Copies of this chain bind each other. A is one copy, B any other.
């Protein structure tokens, strides 16, 4: 097996998902699952996480088939993290019907050598204390990125602030960015976040795309305009995973490379939402990725304007 290039910390879970067209029960999900399966097209991912003894062997096999290194995934007596959600008609609003932390409730990440020397680290959305534990465990000077959610903004703002201060890249959706910073526009919210420490802030806007901000630069990538979305679950994690996978592969952390990485993330997310769980994300042809990169490039191009 290739030695891992990207360490991803986050949930591995079972999701029951209701959409206007279908209900799927206990399918493979979790932030680390989507992120690693998007990243693996570009770099070898290793996941740090935990599953219960109810975690189906076929899910484990599926992740291994995808080339995901599960050495740092513990199996503990108890239940695997479970999430039950329902999407409204337009797929842009979702309601959480049930969350059961299970073994994830007492999870402590453990990162043995040589995994502590991986040079790219993505802290998917988990308790910020666990994100800090992982940062403490890492040797060398990895490129680090963190995602979060409104729950931690409300309940553990101080810990979350510490995470933001210590990572190189911070992922956040537009609403959370405004909530965190009390700023009004996403550009000013990004400024406030950048002043805390990260050198890149990535604002996720769902089906409207994503915006990247450094102190001096900005980039916008639109979402691929799809005719049908089957299940948006995991789109944000897939976006971040694809982006971090591309950065892990190139080792180039310049803003032009970040932009390319964000386009890759956008493309991977567009495949993710075309089916439930990993059903589409697990087998994407290189040519299909290239076509969607071109689609995004074409989407924003316009001729010279003479005034």
Question: Which A residues contact B (CB, under 8 angstroms)?
Answer: 20, 89-91, 175, 178, 182, 184-188, 191, 205, 207-209, 211, 213, 218-222, 225-229, 256, 259-260, 263-264, 286, 289-290, 293, 297, 299-303, 305, 307
* A305 & B90 in contact (Cβ 8 Å cutoff): no
Give the CA-CA distance A178 to B88 in the complex, in Å. Answer: 12
Complex contacts, A307 vs chain B, CB 8 Å: 286, 289-290
Given A222-B222, A225-B185, A302-B91 contact (CB < 8 Å): no
A and B contact pairs by CB, cutoff 8 A, 28 listed = A89-B178, A91-B184, A184-B228, A184-B229, A185-B226, A186-B207, A186-B225, A187-B226, A187-B227, A205-B208, A209-B209, A209-B222, A211-B225, A213-B225, A219-B299, A219-B302, A220-B225, A220-B299, A221-B302, A222-B222, A222-B300, A259-B301, A259-B302, A259-B303, A260-B302, A263-B302, A264-B305, A290-B307
Give the CA-CA distance A297 to B142 in the complex, in Å. Answer: 33
CB of A218, distance to nearest CB on chain B (Å): 6
* A209 & B208 in contact (Cβ 8 Å cutoff): yes
Name the residue on B nearest A254 (C-beta). B303
Give the CA-CA distance A301 to B225 in the complex, in Å. Answer: 18
Shortest Cβ-Cβ A-B pairs, 3 listed = A300-B300, A208-B208, A187-B225
13 new A-B contacts at CB < 8 Å, known A20-B184, A213-B225, A256-B303: A89-B184, A90-B178, A91-B185, A184-B228, A185-B226, A188-B228, A191-B227, A208-B209, A209-B209, A218-B225, A219-B300, A220-B222, A220-B225
Given A187-B227, A228-B188, A218-B299 contact (CB < 8 Å): yes
Give the CA-CA distance A180 to B219 in the complex, in Å. Answer: 32
Give the CA-CA distance A182 to B293 in the complex, in Å. Answer: 29
* B185 & A227 in contact (Cβ 8 Å cutoff): yes
CB of A1, distance to nearest CB on chain B (Å): 21
Give the CA-CA distance A185 to B188 in the complex, in Å. Answer: 29
* B305 & A260 in contact (Cβ 8 Å cutoff): yes
Complex contacts, A191 vs chain B, CB 8 Å: 227
Complex contacts, A305 vs chain B, CB 8 Å: 260, 263-264, 293
Given A256-B303, A303-B260, A305-B264, A184-B90 contact (CB < 8 Å): yes
* B289 & A220 in contact (Cβ 8 Å cutoff): no
Name the residue on B nearest A287 (C-beta). B307
CB of A129, distance to nearest CB on chain B (Å): 29
Name the residue on B nearest A246 (C-beta). B305
Complex contacts, A211 vs chain B, CB 8 Å: 222, 225
Complex contacts, A300 vs chain B, CB 8 Å: 219-222, 300-301
CB of A282, distance to nearest CB on chain B (Å): 17
* B260 & A227 in contact (Cβ 8 Å cutoff): no
